Amino acid sequence: MSVVIFLLLRLAPGNIVDILFSTGGYVSDADKKLIMQELGLDKPVWAQYVEWIRNMATGDLGKSYRYDVPAWQVIKPLIPVTIELAVLSTIVAVLIGVPTGVISAVRQDTVFDYALRIFSLAGLSMPSFWLGMVIILALAAWLGWVPPMTYVGVREDFKIHAVQFLLPALAVGYRSSALITRITRSAMLEVLREDYVRTAWAKGQSEGAVVWRHALTNALLPVVTVIGIEFAFLIGGLVVTETVFNLPGVARFLVQAILWRDYPIVQTLVMFIAIVVVLSNLFVDLLYGWLDPRVRYSG
């Protein structure tokens, strides 16, 4: 991953020096060479890569080319914003997606099932950023109130902070819940046809015990997989949503850093996203053993 990140950035045309000089409206070869030497861009690509890996191993993330401050100083306040939004969106998605998927499977081919399937299909069809703009316009038109467009920290005003994150979490969570609903429904339909479920019905157990304790427990593995994948996607895939709600998160700032060819910032942010994806998948694999004894004992 580090090699791919490093090479793709260097393959993109231009660098921070070219952008700075094109913005300034003048070109001086001597000044260009001096700045490239200061930033280390005059070295061969392999030497830049080796230096970056060595610095990463010692905890030195480099210095932002654009802001001329340590990269960690720029990135540190962005990570909590994105993680908070991703966690809240995942919670909303699970709270909506799992129950609707279960109910849709239990009430298969009924009017209720068709309504929930249309509900999930609408969630898959509507981009979260578009839904976010619709929510803002609806609040402005019906209530005459617009959510604050300037980020407010949790310590500054908790109520405003909660509203700032609740609206995008609902928009993003609804889209993710649609996928979770469909996966939950498919897994539940398969499990409800198993012999042990029929045996539970034959023994006279209640519907709640059969559906939620026996069927859902055994249908959770594909659902947990999707939830883990969605959470990893939310860490780096909320560019437009963070822009619409003016949240200073990782994804939004990553695009700006790419446009400026701010290599230390981009490399660190992409590595952070890659690490989150790996850890998310690892956590899901470990969760399999806790949810399903068959996985736990197979080793």
Share of the chain above pLDDT 70, in %: 92
Asked if 140 and 68 sit in the same domain, the reply is no
Q: Final residue of a domain: which of 75, 96, 124?
A: 75
Residue 203: count other Cβ atoms within 10 Å of its Cβ: 9
Asked if 138 and 18 sit in the same domain, the reply is no
The answer to the question of residue 231 being in a domain is yes
Q: Output the pLDDT for position 114.
A: 92
Backbone angles phi, psi at 277, to 5 degrees: -60, -45
The answer to the question of residue 292 being in a domain is no
Q: Final residue of a domain: which of 75, 97, 126?
A: 75
The answer to the question of residue 265 being in a domain is no
Q: What is the mean pLDDT of residues 56-77?
A: 83
Asked if 158 and 133 sit in the same domain, the reply is yes
| Choice among 21-25, 161-165, 206-210, 262-266 with the minimum mean pLDDT | 21-25
Residues 6+ apart with CB under 8 A from 32: 17, 21
Asked if 132 and 241 sit in the same domain, the reply is yes
Q: Output the pLDDT for position 31.
A: 67
Contact 191, 199 (CB under 8 A): no
Asked if 34 and 158 sit in the same domain, the reply is no
User: Whats the size of the chain, residue-wise?
Assistant: 299
What's the pLDDT band for 24 if we cut at 50, 70, 90?
low
pLDDT digits (tens, 9 = 90+) for 212-256: 888 888 888 889 999 998 888 888 777 778 887 888 888 888 888
The answer to the question of residue 133 being in a domain is yes
Asked if 56 and 86 sit in the same domain, the reply is no
Q: Output the pLDDT for position 21.
A: 66
Range of the domain at 49: 2-75
- pTM of the full structure: 0.82
The answer to the question of residue 59 being in a domain is yes
From CA 248, how far away is CA 85, in angstroms rounded?
11
Asked if 182 and 167 sit in the same domain, the reply is yes
Total tally of structural domains belonging to the chain: 2
Asked if 65 and 197 sit in the same domain, the reply is no
pLDDT digits (tens, 9 = 90+) for 151-191: 888 788 888 888 888 888 988 889 889 999 999 999 999 98
Q: Output the pLDDT for position 98.
A: 92
- Is a pLDDT exceeding 80 seen at residue 34? no
Asked if 12 and 123 sit in the same domain, the reply is no
The answer to the question of residue 142 being in a domain is yes
How many helices (H) and strands (E) would you count in the chain?
A: 16, 0
Q: Output the pLDDT for position 209.
A: 83
Asked if 118 and 43 sit in the same domain, the reply is no
Share of the chain above pLDDT 90, in %: 11
Contact 87, 230 (CB under 8 A): no
Asked if 230 and 144 sit in the same domain, the reply is yes
Q: Final residue of a domain: which of 19, 50, 75?
A: 75
- Is a pLDDT exceeding 60 seen at residue 89? yes
pLDDT digits (tens, 9 = 90+) for 94-145: 999 999 999 999 888 889 889 988 988 888 888 777 887 888 888 777 877 7
Q: Output the pLDDT for position 211.
A: 84
Cα Rg for the chain, rounded, in angstroms? 24
Q: Output the pLDDT for position 26.
A: 59
Both structure tokens of 192 = 């409800």
Both structure tokens of 62 = 């480099």
The answer to the question of residue 90 being in a domain is yes
The answer to the question of residue 291 being in a domain is no
Asked if 139 and 206 sit in the same domain, the reply is yes
Which CATH number do you get for residue 231?
A: 1.10.3720.10
Q: Output the pLDDT for position 259.
A: 79
Angle at 100 between CA 97 and CA 101, to 5 degrees: 80
